[in-house]
Structure 1
Amino acid sequence: MRTDMFQQILNDLNSSSADVEASALISTDGLMIASALPAGIDEDRVGAMSAALLSLGDRAGRELARGSIERVMVQGEKGYVIMSASGTEAVLTILTKPNAKLGLVFLDMKRAAEALSKLI
Protein backbone atom coordinates (compact mmCIF):
# COMPACT_ATOMS: atom_id res chain seq x y z
CA MET A 1 0.00 0.00 0.00
CA ARG A 2 1.25 3.49 -0.84
CA THR A 3 0.64 4.89 2.65
CA ASP A 4 2.89 2.20 4.13
CA MET A 5 5.60 3.08 1.60
CA PHE A 6 5.34 6.79 2.49
CA GLN A 7 5.59 5.87 6.17
CA GLN A 8 8.63 3.66 5.59
CA ILE A 9 10.49 6.42 3.72
CA LEU A 10 9.76 8.89 6.55
CA ASN A 11 10.85 6.37 9.21
CA ASP A 12 14.05 5.72 7.23
CA LEU A 13 14.70 9.48 6.99
CA ASN A 14 14.26 9.89 10.75
CA SER A 15 16.60 6.98 11.51
CA SER A 16 19.20 7.84 8.85
CA SER A 17 20.41 10.83 10.82
CA ALA A 18 20.55 11.45 14.55
CA ASP A 19 19.90 15.12 13.69
CA VAL A 20 16.39 14.49 12.25
CA GLU A 21 13.78 14.36 15.01
CA ALA A 22 10.57 14.23 12.96
CA SER A 23 9.27 14.29 9.40
CA ALA A 24 5.99 14.61 7.55
CA LEU A 25 4.69 14.50 3.99
CA ILE A 26 1.98 17.09 3.41
CA SER A 27 -0.14 17.90 0.37
CA THR A 28 0.37 21.39 -1.07
CA ASP A 29 -3.06 22.33 0.30
CA GLY A 30 -1.94 21.44 3.84
CA LEU A 31 -3.39 17.96 4.40
CA MET A 32 -1.22 15.36 6.12
CA ILE A 33 -0.35 12.43 3.81
CA ALA A 34 2.01 10.58 6.18
CA SER A 35 4.01 11.52 9.25
CA ALA A 36 6.65 10.35 11.67
CA LEU A 37 6.06 13.04 14.32
CA PRO A 38 6.58 12.74 18.07
CA ALA A 39 3.55 12.56 20.36
CA GLY A 40 2.10 15.93 21.24
CA ILE A 41 2.65 17.57 17.86
CA ASP A 42 -0.60 18.52 16.12
CA GLU A 43 -0.51 17.04 12.61
CA ASP A 44 -3.13 19.47 11.27
CA ARG A 45 -1.14 22.46 12.49
CA VAL A 46 2.12 21.12 11.00
CA GLY A 47 0.34 20.53 7.70
CA ALA A 48 -1.23 23.97 7.49
CA MET A 49 1.94 25.82 8.51
CA SER A 50 4.16 23.83 6.14
CA ALA A 51 1.94 24.49 3.13
CA ALA A 52 1.64 28.20 4.00
CA LEU A 53 5.38 28.69 4.55
CA LEU A 54 6.39 26.87 1.38
CA SER A 55 3.86 28.90 -0.61
CA LEU A 56 5.18 32.17 0.85
CA GLY A 57 8.77 31.10 0.26
CA ASP A 58 7.98 30.28 -3.36
CA ARG A 59 6.32 33.66 -3.85
CA ALA A 60 9.24 35.49 -2.22
CA GLY A 61 11.71 33.61 -4.42
CA ARG A 62 9.83 34.65 -7.56
CA GLU A 63 9.14 38.26 -6.57
CA LEU A 64 12.69 38.85 -5.33
CA ALA A 65 14.17 37.30 -8.49
CA ARG A 66 15.74 34.31 -6.70
CA GLY A 67 14.16 31.76 -9.04
CA SER A 68 12.46 28.58 -7.95
CA ILE A 69 13.19 27.73 -4.34
CA GLU A 70 15.00 24.65 -3.07
CA ARG A 71 13.73 24.79 0.51
CA VAL A 72 12.31 26.99 3.24
CA MET A 73 14.09 26.89 6.58
CA VAL A 74 13.15 28.29 9.99
CA GLN A 75 15.89 28.33 12.62
CA GLY A 76 14.83 28.38 16.26
CA GLU A 77 16.75 28.02 19.49
CA LYS A 78 15.63 24.36 19.73
CA GLY A 79 16.37 23.41 16.12
CA TYR A 80 15.31 23.82 12.52
CA VAL A 81 12.09 23.32 10.59
CA ILE A 82 12.97 22.61 6.96
CA MET A 83 10.44 22.31 4.15
CA SER A 84 11.11 21.15 0.61
CA ALA A 85 8.84 20.34 -2.31
CA SER A 86 8.34 16.64 -3.00
CA GLY A 87 7.13 16.71 -6.58
CA THR A 88 4.47 19.27 -7.45
CA GLU A 89 1.77 17.90 -5.14
CA ALA A 90 3.46 17.64 -1.75
CA VAL A 91 5.82 19.16 0.81
CA LEU A 92 8.36 17.26 2.90
CA THR A 93 8.81 18.88 6.33
CA ILE A 94 11.43 17.85 8.86
CA LEU A 95 12.37 18.96 12.37
CA THR A 96 16.02 18.81 13.38
CA LYS A 97 18.18 19.34 16.43
CA PRO A 98 19.78 22.80 16.84
CA ASN A 99 23.32 21.57 16.06
CA ALA A 100 22.27 19.56 12.99
CA LYS A 101 24.81 19.01 10.21
CA LEU A 102 22.73 20.74 7.56
CA GLY A 103 24.64 19.51 4.52
CA LEU A 104 23.94 15.89 5.44
CA VAL A 105 20.35 16.70 6.41
CA PHE A 106 19.75 18.41 3.03
CA LEU A 107 21.18 15.39 1.19
CA ASP A 108 19.02 12.90 3.13
CA MET A 109 16.01 15.15 2.68
CA LYS A 110 16.56 15.43 -1.09
CA ARG A 111 16.80 11.65 -1.44
CA ALA A 112 13.61 11.15 0.60
CA ALA A 113 11.73 13.86 -1.33
CA GLU A 114 12.65 12.23 -4.64
CA ALA A 115 11.59 8.78 -3.43
CA LEU A 116 8.30 10.16 -2.07
CA SER A 117 7.55 12.15 -5.23
CA LYS A 118 7.78 8.95 -7.32
CA LEU A 119 5.01 7.41 -5.20
CA ILE A 120 2.63 10.37 -5.24
Structure 2
Amino acid sequence: MRTDSFQQVLEDLNGASADVEASALISNDGLIIASALPTNVDEDRVGAMSAALLSLGDRAGRELARGDIDRIMIQGERGYVIMTSAGEEAVLTIMAKPNAKLGLIFLDIKRAAEALAKLL
Protein backbone atom coordinates (compact mmCIF):
# COMPACT_ATOMS: atom_id res chain seq x y z
CA MET A 1 0.00 0.00 0.00
CA ARG A 2 1.29 3.49 -0.87
CA THR A 3 0.55 4.92 2.58
CA ASP A 4 2.93 2.39 4.13
CA SER A 5 5.61 3.43 1.64
CA PHE A 6 5.11 7.11 2.46
CA GLN A 7 5.27 6.31 6.16
CA GLN A 8 8.49 4.34 5.71
CA VAL A 9 10.20 7.20 3.87
CA LEU A 10 9.22 9.61 6.67
CA GLU A 11 10.41 7.25 9.39
CA ASP A 12 13.69 6.73 7.52
CA LEU A 13 14.09 10.51 7.26
CA ASN A 14 13.48 10.94 11.00
CA GLY A 15 15.91 8.12 11.74
CA ALA A 16 18.64 9.40 9.38
CA SER A 17 19.55 12.24 11.73
CA ALA A 18 19.07 12.79 15.44
CA ASP A 19 18.46 16.43 14.50
CA VAL A 20 15.18 15.65 12.69
CA GLU A 21 12.37 15.50 15.24
CA ALA A 22 9.32 15.09 13.01
CA SER A 23 8.17 14.98 9.40
CA ALA A 24 4.97 14.96 7.39
CA LEU A 25 3.87 14.63 3.78
CA ILE A 26 1.06 17.05 3.05
CA SER A 27 -1.07 17.55 -0.05
CA ASN A 28 -0.96 20.98 -1.68
CA ASP A 29 -4.42 21.65 -0.25
CA GLY A 30 -3.21 21.01 3.31
CA LEU A 31 -4.34 17.44 3.99
CA ILE A 32 -1.96 15.04 5.75
CA ILE A 33 -0.98 12.16 3.46
CA ALA A 34 1.41 10.55 5.97
CA SER A 35 3.15 11.74 9.09
CA ALA A 36 5.78 10.91 11.65
CA LEU A 37 4.83 13.68 14.07
CA PRO A 38 4.88 13.63 17.88
CA THR A 39 1.49 13.01 19.49
CA ASN A 40 1.40 16.55 20.91
CA VAL A 41 1.47 18.08 17.40
CA ASP A 42 -1.85 18.88 15.70
CA GLU A 43 -1.59 17.26 12.25
CA ASP A 44 -4.38 19.37 10.76
CA ARG A 45 -2.68 22.59 11.84
CA VAL A 46 0.70 21.46 10.45
CA GLY A 47 -0.98 20.52 7.18
CA ALA A 48 -2.84 23.78 6.73
CA MET A 49 0.12 25.98 7.67
CA SER A 50 2.58 24.06 5.49
CA ALA A 51 0.37 24.32 2.42
CA ALA A 52 -0.26 28.03 3.02
CA LEU A 53 3.41 28.85 3.60
CA LEU A 54 4.62 26.92 0.57
CA SER A 55 2.02 28.61 -1.61
CA LEU A 56 2.94 32.05 -0.28
CA GLY A 57 6.67 31.35 -0.63
CA ASP A 58 6.16 30.18 -4.19
CA ARG A 59 4.30 33.37 -5.00
CA ALA A 60 6.95 35.53 -3.32
CA GLY A 61 9.68 33.76 -5.30
CA ARG A 62 7.91 34.58 -8.55
CA GLU A 63 6.91 38.14 -7.63
CA LEU A 64 10.42 38.98 -6.42
CA ALA A 65 12.06 37.36 -9.47
CA ARG A 66 13.80 34.64 -7.44
CA GLY A 67 12.49 31.81 -9.60
CA ASP A 68 11.26 28.48 -8.33
CA ILE A 69 11.86 28.03 -4.62
CA ASP A 70 13.78 25.07 -3.21
CA ARG A 71 12.58 25.31 0.36
CA ILE A 72 11.00 27.49 2.99
CA MET A 73 12.68 27.58 6.36
CA ILE A 74 11.47 29.01 9.63
CA GLN A 75 14.06 29.39 12.37
CA GLY A 76 12.76 29.75 15.90
CA GLU A 77 14.39 29.64 19.30
CA ARG A 78 13.43 25.96 19.67
CA GLY A 79 14.41 24.80 16.22
CA TYR A 80 13.55 24.81 12.54
CA VAL A 81 10.57 24.05 10.34
CA ILE A 82 11.65 23.29 6.78
CA MET A 83 9.27 22.76 3.87
CA THR A 84 10.01 21.62 0.35
CA SER A 85 7.96 20.37 -2.57
CA ALA A 86 7.62 16.62 -3.02
CA GLY A 87 6.60 16.52 -6.66
CA GLU A 88 3.75 18.61 -8.01
CA GLU A 89 1.17 17.27 -5.58
CA ALA A 90 2.62 17.59 -2.10
CA VAL A 91 4.93 19.28 0.39
CA LEU A 92 7.37 17.63 2.78
CA THR A 93 7.60 19.39 6.14
CA ILE A 94 10.17 18.57 8.78
CA MET A 95 10.94 19.88 12.24
CA ALA A 96 14.56 19.96 13.39
CA LYS A 97 16.46 20.82 16.57
CA PRO A 98 17.93 24.32 17.02
CA ASN A 99 21.55 23.11 16.72
CA ALA A 100 20.82 20.96 13.66
CA LYS A 101 23.45 20.46 10.95
CA LEU A 102 21.43 22.04 8.17
CA GLY A 103 23.60 20.96 5.24
CA LEU A 104 23.10 17.30 6.10
CA ILE A 105 19.40 17.81 6.77
CA PHE A 106 18.92 19.56 3.42
CA LEU A 107 20.51 16.56 1.69
CA ASP A 108 18.30 14.09 3.61
CA ILE A 109 15.21 16.19 2.84
CA LYS A 110 16.06 16.32 -0.86
CA ARG A 111 16.45 12.54 -1.02
CA ALA A 112 13.22 11.95 0.89
CA ALA A 113 11.29 14.46 -1.26
CA GLU A 114 12.50 12.73 -4.43
CA ALA A 115 11.52 9.31 -3.08
CA LEU A 116 8.08 10.58 -2.04
CA ALA A 117 7.53 12.30 -5.40
CA LYS A 118 8.16 8.99 -7.18
CA LEU A 119 5.57 7.29 -4.95
CA LEU A 120 2.98 9.99 -5.64
Same-fold call, TM cutoff 0.5:
yes
- Hey, what does 1:81 align to over in structure 2? 81
- Report the CA distance between 1:26 and its aligned residue: 0.1
Read off the aligned partner of 1:26 and give its amino acid letter: I
- Hey, what does 2:99 align to over in structure 1? 99
Whether 1:6 aligns to 2:6 is yes
Read off the aligned partner of 2:79 and give its amino acid letter: G
- Where in structure 2 are the equivalents of 1:57-68 lying within 5 Å? 57-68=57-68
- Hey, what does 2:52 align to over in structure 1? 52
Work out the CA distance in 2 between the residues paired with 1:69 and 1:90: 14
- Mark the runs of 5 or more structure 2 residues left unpaired by the alignment: none
Work out the CA distance in 1 between the residues paired with 2:78 and 2:8: 26
Scaled by the length of structure 2, what TM-score is found? 0.99
- Mark the runs of 5 or more structure 1 residues left unpaired by the alignment: none
Read off the aligned partner of 1:8 and give its amino acid letter: Q
Read off the aligned partner of 1:11 and give its amino acid letter: E
- Report the CA distance between 1:49 and its aligned residue: 0.1
- Report the CA distance between 1:11 and its aligned residue: 0.2
Work out the CA distance in 2 between the residues paired with 1:41 and 1:11: 16
Scaled by the length of structure 1, what TM-score is found? 0.99
How many correspondences in the alignment? 120
Read off the aligned partner of 1:118 and give its amino acid letter: K
- Hey, what does 1:23 align to over in structure 2? 23
